[in-house]
Structure 1
């Protein structure tokens, strides 16, 4: 009698086999990302260099040399494919037209559905393929990836795949992407035929779902399409912000979570119907394909779809799934098909979350299972922790802030996440066939959706829910190293208890820090909040604070007011109605008492005015009158502008008619002049306004539109510039800042210094930056 045994390979062989594909994928991704910032020539040099590097590892089966050669092999693939795309992107004819900002007619095919811009909801953007551009003296034909920017209600109903022609201006795109140009529409689109059948099907499902959720009250009606197909167009902007703050945003972006639920449900039905392996694979593939078509080519969708495809192929072959190689293959294929994905934050966050799930969540769940925890409960705890750890370095690097409530909120959201997603998708499927059936499914989905809404809103209201952290590459790398060190120590038994004790103590210490920390420093004069490309300033008042402008987004100004302990706004001043000064109004008004709003006439900036009018409700809106004085305890405000007869015919009338204020806070003077430009500054000089101050809020984000005599008349000790990092306007201009520094002013900028607080200390001024 004999027996046959199959020997398993040693662990080293398993590890090497499992990690070969991830190393290739890492090489592909790194080379593609580097290639996007270069040219075709630098790309070819990279290919040659990687071939030489890979040659040194030929024949090596293990060790550092083999790993480097494997990465270099992937880099050859990534650099080669990216170089071909970059050569097409940098077409000399198109580059010449973008350099001169040529006017003409663009023939486009929409790649994505036009969506409102976050900071300019009156405008829409979409990715598209530029087929041709006809200027007066030149014509170029090709197939370039471009970014379309347009305004007007006629763009709202368009779907992906639509061919169109539009009068437009070509502008240069930001580096580091495959986007060859920015196409700024200068009129309504002329439609050319209908989109292809898949695009018409996606538009049909979205339209029917939007009709079906009409039977559900808001905000549930806006959340259901987001949960079903990632369509956030109907979602309340403040609720969307709360989902980002609390780390629930992954539920409203179609991702691997959605595909795993839906493909799993389809496979379960197929099994129940006794379908064979091939029929199950076909059913799962059809379900995944439908989701991709309807949700659109989002980074997380494409990554999840390729992973699902790999899983289905493994199922068809009758082989067990290898999760990490499947993820690596998904990254490899997606980046090789579209190298632009290598530079998209959404794709990186999606992959990082999967890596955390595969490498950490299941491993961390094992000790809990050994202590008697059910597997589902253990994974419910470890999955949000592991994914948060994995994405934190990226969030830090992107400057997005880190949610301190993400883990508990996601843990509680897990109670309803699966059923609400399935019901929302069911509402979309039912509505596509018969709208009344979709209405019933939407009403069923609304019940668990309310739990998610409550979690998002409650979590976002927790003091310190979103921890602002310095952004940038080095901060991201530093946070990754710290997290890697902590995880490494946790896996060493001798250090585990000590590290857990430190983490527990830090967590317990954060509770009172979140609840009781904050508040303005002694002698507080003014704080310039870091709200990106926009303005928001806070001054003390006797029974609250004075807020001047609110920035482009609600979250940053809300966090700034929380850090200062502001519960009541005695006066909200809106210098003018441009979006970068008004769109964050919800961050001031929600949860706070606002006594009154001071603003100029709306002028041309109607969208910002309508937004403020809608949010103001019963709060009185006062018109700024020159010479008017407001007194709040030790703070005195004098209105210097706009003039009684508003300026007209200037480069920007709304800017030049900004509310200009001189504030006196316990003997310290501050000049807040909104965005006044040349004409507005000259008008203040002509009226002999009291411009000599201790602190100057530099007008219009430090742009070049400054009158030197105005800056010299202000003669501040401290100059504050509210500006966003890497903004497309080139703010601030070095000329005005250099003039201020020559006059002896200390210049501080929010893009470099973060939030800036000026306080009176002894006989001088003290400036604190970074929070």
Structure 2
């Protein structure tokens, strides 16, 4: 008697060999992203080209031809669907209104809870759908995706899903997204009925959780809602900056990690209750749906939800889990459902982290398991390494910097990450039913939360914890290529040991570099820190320093001051109270003594003023008076502006009333101009002060609002521009830079050069760039 057995490849082998879904998803994503920057006609043409390529390659069953045909098929789908959305976005009547900045009455449906803007926290922003806009007696109706920008305390009472009317101005939105317009509110909202049931449920859970965590002290109370449902509104700025600097920010963004924990816990309970496959699938689907509703339609949440749905379907069908096809399906479905996903950095980072987990983490864990490591321990080590490698090119390309402490901090955070997330979600669920039960759960969640806060704070205090790198596409691609070569070298048996030796030597050498880093170079005159779209400058002042502006990010200015070895700030000058000059004050004052703060009147920028007032505490705040002189060692500062009678009625009164200083640092002159625009610059020219200097801080990040005569009067040898890569303001404008370069100035800008330090050696200037 004989029998034949046909060996069937393991499911993991099938997953690895069948690349059709990932290739199709890549085609959908790439085509969708391309069409978002174009028009509907371009999308239709691209879809036709992709269809032709797919048909031409259909005769290939394998190899590069088949792969190209699969990508082209995905491109056809992505281009065709996105073209339809772009046609709706570019509605001619709406486009005419945005170009004319029409004033009228907007009827909106909020899609997200209004939150403080990251650029200007005195404003709130929310995604919304514009249902109608009435201007000059004419009404345009539709259903367009828009960005709402508003100010006022009354917006705190609105919530997602709410229909409202508001007087507003329509403005053009940034290119490359499906956002059809920016709706700038010009008055309080008028609600028109309650939100739908899912939005009311989400609001109920958030409110009850906020009440429950009130029994827990800060910063734990602010972190628990973030861990549970991604609500970071209660987190203090210092904790948020620490989580960002140490790579723990993924814990406060609801993602696949959260859904896998919660759905897994629900399935475990259902299994323990002897529920059947259908009941388990239903329980898991309800849990995943509840998380999505409460957390909101964030990119990471939607991607994780679709993946969870695929997994539950596989469970219901009795088939093994296929993670990579599930991820590819999530990308394909989400980009086709909402092509705007293709341009969202959060979605790209989420997908990249999953790819690193699936392709690298498990493979890297195998050698450790063969050496006797328990699988859980091996994965705890390789998962943070793999995800960090996967997201690094994107972080570099986005100009976000790279955390050098992310891997060890995440490794230590893994000790409590799972229980703290489960306990935090449990607190939200319990509070939704009965607040006292939620209070007990919140107190339990606060215990492991303290470990995360200590880890983030300690990691952020390590000198050089955040490595600032120049941003942009080419830097991102270069870092990706370098990491690919490194990984290939580690997989090569002949190269593995030498590469490991080099990496080990670099790690050992980095320890004293981190411990003993700091201190500015000899003969330095001024340093412009790279803080993104904002200003932060440091001048020597004897044993101390003078800091002029602190940028928008506490972590970035703190890292810059750490690297310069700053322990005491003799004078902290705030040119004005816009957020890109003041929001980093917590980082500048962290662990440092500050002698005094010099600032102008707050004017309209009340949010920045309140932020500074809270952070300054007992530190005296001095009013800037023209003609006043401050001396610190070999450094002398003279206040040139604002004028005694503040300027009013200008394009931006806070900008034009910036504090402007002329500094003399050991014989080198520096003109620090804040964000003065046309009226403020003319006032400086009319003031009669000596404006010719060696180093000029170009006004207002090099914007187009420059008076040529001021640039010519300054006639600097070196000009510094503090500006963020890819900023939406078009800074710096090429016109003013051309004027400076024509007169022989060397122009340096932080978006291209990173941190900039000007050093004087005798009669010669040297400019050091990068970190």
Q: CA shift at 1:705, angstroms?
A: 3.0
CA distance in 2, matches of 1:434, 1:366: 46
Counterpart position of 1:229: 229
Residue 262 (1) aligns with residue 251 (2): no
CA distance in 1, matches of 2:371, 2:17: 32
CA distance in 1, matches of 2:516, 2:745: 35
- Checking the alignment, whether the CA contact within 8 Å between 1:119 and 1:583 is kept in structure 2 is no
Counterpart position of 1:540: 540
CA distance in 2, matches of 1:558, 1:329: 42
CA distance in 2, matches of 1:531, 1:239: 18
Alignment of 1:55-74 (within 5 A): 55-74=55-74
Alignment of 1:350-429 (within 5 A): 350-429=350-429
Counterpart position of 2:666: 666
Alignment of 1:603-642 (within 5 A): 603-642=603-642
Counterpart position of 1:602: 602
CA distance in 2, matches of 1:725, 1:492: 37
CA distance in 1, matches of 2:59, 2:649: 74
Q: CA shift at 1:192, angstroms?
A: 0.8
Q: CA shift at 1:9, angstroms?
A: 4.9
Q: CA shift at 1:393, angstroms?
A: 1.0
1:420 alignment partner, SS class: helix
Q: CA shift at 1:242, angstroms?
A: 1.0
Cα RMSD (Å): 1.7
CA distance in 2, matches of 1:35, 1:220: 44
Counterpart position of 1:3: 3
Q: CA shift at 1:660, angstroms?
A: 1.8
Alignment of 1:275-674 (within 5 A): 275-674=275-674
Uncovered stretches (5+) of structure 2, i.e. residues with no partner: none
- Checking the alignment, whether the CA contact within 8 Å between 1:109 and 1:129 is kept in structure 2 is yes
CA distance in 2, matches of 1:177, 1:331: 17
**1:21 to 1:407, Cα distance in 2 relative to 1, 3 A:** same
Q: CA shift at 1:30, angstroms?
A: 1.0
Q: CA shift at 1:735, angstroms?
A: 3.1
Residue by residue over 1:383-436, the C-alpha shift from the partner in whole angstroms, topping out at 9 and shown as x without a partner, is 111111111111111111111111110110011001100000000000000111
Q: CA shift at 1:500, angstroms?
A: 1.3
CA distance in 2, matches of 1:418, 1:729: 41
**1:686 to 1:10, Cα distance in 2 relative to 1, 3 A:** closer
Counterpart position of 2:30: 30
- Checking the alignment, whether the CA contact within 8 Å between 1:56 and 1:65 is kept in structure 2 is no
Residue by residue over 1:542-562, the C-alpha shift from the partner in whole angstroms, topping out at 9 and shown as x without a partner, is 111110111122122112212
- Checking the alignment, whether the CA contact within 8 Å between 1:543 and 1:570 is kept in structure 2 is no
1:766 alignment partner, SS class: strand
- Checking the alignment, whether the CA contact within 8 Å between 1:36 and 1:86 is kept in structure 2 is yes
Q: Which 10-residue stretch deviates more, 3-12 or 666-675?
A: 3-12
CA distance in 2, matches of 1:31, 1:71: 10
- Checking the alignment, whether the CA contact within 8 Å between 2:122 and 2:608 is kept in structure 1 is no
CA distance in 1, matches of 2:588, 2:10: 61
Q: CA shift at 1:684, angstroms?
A: 2.8
Counterpart position of 2:87: 87
Residue by residue over 1:683-726, the C-alpha shift from the partner in whole angstroms, topping out at 9 and shown as x without a partner, is 33333112121111122222333333322222222222222233
2:385 alignment partner, SS class: helix
Q: CA shift at 1:533, angstroms?
A: 2.2
Residue by residue over 1:81-123, the C-alpha shift from the partner in whole angstroms, topping out at 9 and shown as x without a partner, is 1111111111111111111111111111111111111231111
CA distance in 2, matches of 1:319, 1:44: 39
2:436 alignment partner, SS class: helix
1:58 alignment partner, SS class: helix
CA distance in 1, matches of 2:394, 2:680: 42
Uncovered stretches (5+) of structure 1, i.e. residues with no partner: none
Alignment of 1:88-237 (within 5 A): 88-136=88-136, 138-237=138-237
CA distance in 2, matches of 1:574, 1:234: 26
CA distance in 2, matches of 1:195, 1:225: 22
CA distance in 1, matches of 2:10, 2:687: 86
Q: CA shift at 1:17, angstroms?
A: 4.9
CA distance in 1, matches of 2:50, 2:113: 39
Residue by residue over 1:168-202, the C-alpha shift from the partner in whole angstroms, topping out at 9 and shown as x without a partner, is 11111111111111111111111111111011000
CA distance in 2, matches of 1:224, 1:386: 27
Q: CA shift at 1:657, angstroms?
A: 2.4
Q: CA shift at 1:475, angstroms?
A: 1.4
- Checking the alignment, whether the CA contact within 8 Å between 2:472 and 2:725 is kept in structure 1 is no
Q: Which 10-residue stretch deviates more, 718-727 or 400-409?
A: 718-727
Q: Which 10-residue stretch deviates more, 116-125 or 639-648?
A: 639-648
- Checking the alignment, whether the CA contact within 8 Å between 1:16 and 1:62 is kept in structure 2 is no
Q: CA shift at 1:167, angstroms?
A: 0.8
CA distance in 2, matches of 1:227, 1:15: 32
CA distance in 2, matches of 1:744, 1:546: 28
CA distance in 1, matches of 2:652, 2:487: 54
Residue by residue over 1:566-613, the C-alpha shift from the partner in whole angstroms, topping out at 9 and shown as x without a partner, is 121111111122222111111110111111111122223222111111
Residue by residue over 1:518-544, the C-alpha shift from the partner in whole angstroms, topping out at 9 and shown as x without a partner, is 421221111112222221111001111
- Checking the alignment, whether the CA contact within 8 Å between 1:578 and 1:608 is kept in structure 2 is yes
- Checking the alignment, whether the CA contact within 8 Å between 1:119 and 1:553 is kept in structure 2 is no
- Checking the alignment, whether the CA contact within 8 Å between 1:292 and 1:305 is kept in structure 2 is yes
CA distance in 1, matches of 2:298, 2:13: 36
- Checking the alignment, whether the CA contact within 8 Å between 2:15 and 2:322 is kept in structure 1 is no
Q: Which 10-residue stretch deviates more, 279-288 or 33-42?
A: 33-42
- Checking the alignment, whether the CA contact within 8 Å between 1:18 and 1:324 is kept in structure 2 is no
1:134 alignment partner, SS class: strand
CA distance in 2, matches of 1:114, 1:127: 8
Counterpart position of 1:726: 726
CA distance in 1, matches of 2:39, 2:402: 35
CA distance in 2, matches of 1:345, 1:454: 28
With the length of structure 2 as denominator, give the TM-score of the two structures.
0.97
CA distance in 1, matches of 2:543, 2:762: 24
**1:320 to 1:458, Cα distance in 2 relative to 1, 3 A:** same
CA distance in 2, matches of 1:148, 1:561: 36
Q: CA shift at 1:499, angstroms?
A: 1.6
- Checking the alignment, whether the CA contact within 8 Å between 2:471 and 2:751 is kept in structure 1 is no
Residue by residue over 1:114-167, the C-alpha shift from the partner in whole angstroms, topping out at 9 and shown as x without a partner, is 111123111111111111111115432111111111111111122211111111
CA distance in 2, matches of 1:570, 1:751: 28
Q: CA shift at 1:16, angstroms?
A: 6.9
- Checking the alignment, whether the CA contact within 8 Å between 1:695 and 1:718 is kept in structure 2 is yes
Counterpart position of 1:691: 691
**1:14 to 1:675, Cα distance in 2 relative to 1, 3 A:** closer
- Checking the alignment, whether the CA contact within 8 Å between 2:404 and 2:466 is kept in structure 1 is yes
CA distance in 2, matches of 1:12, 1:545: 59
Counterpart position of 1:76: 76
1:56 alignment partner, SS class: helix
Q: Which 10-residue stretch deviates more, 629-638 or 307-316?
A: 629-638
CA distance in 2, matches of 1:491, 1:388: 18
CA distance in 1, matches of 2:273, 2:166: 51
Q: CA shift at 1:78, angstroms?
A: 1.1
- Checking the alignment, whether the CA contact within 8 Å between 2:525 and 2:758 is kept in structure 1 is yes
How many residue pairs match? The answer is 771
CA distance in 1, matches of 2:237, 2:759: 35
CA distance in 2, matches of 1:420, 1:437: 17
1:169 alignment partner, SS class: strand
CA distance in 1, matches of 2:538, 2:684: 23
